[in-house]
């Protein structure tokens, strides 16, 4: 059974994880906007970032739905 300190540490790790996902989503969006402004929407980098954004949006959406 976990004690209060273990639970607090676990919560902190989880909060860092959630914050990291949201930060990564914001960074990915910015990179996509930059590439789009440069007319590079057909590049492999743009397409990979676009797919990553979709995955990150889904993960953040699930966090939001759970109220986290």
Domain residues for the domain of 29 are 4-65
Average pLDDT, the chain: 95
- Beta carbons of 35 and 46 less than 8 angstroms apart: yes
Residues sharing a CB contact under 8 Å with residue 31, sequence separation 6 or more, in sequence order:
49
pLDDT average, residue stretch 48-61: 98
Tell me 1's DSSP state: -
pLDDT at 67 exceeding the cut of 90: no
Q: Is 39 left (phi over 0), alpha (psi -120 to 50) or beta?
A: left
pLDDT average, residue stretch 47-59: 98
pLDDT at 38 exceeding the cut of 80: yes
pLDDT at 19 exceeding the cut of 90: yes
pLDDT average, residue stretch 14-39: 97
Number of domains into which the chain is organized = 1
pTM of the model: 0.86
pLDDT at 1 exceeding the cut of 90: no
């Amino acid at each position: 059974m976990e004690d209060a300190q273990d639970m607090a540490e676990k919560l902190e790790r989880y909060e860092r994880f959630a914050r990291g996902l949201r930060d990564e989503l914001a960074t990915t969006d910015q990179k996509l906007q930059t590439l789009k402004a440069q007319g590079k929407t057909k590049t492999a980098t743009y397409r990979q970032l676009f797919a990553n954004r979709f995955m990150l949006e889904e993960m953040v959406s699930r966090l939001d739905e759970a109220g986290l």
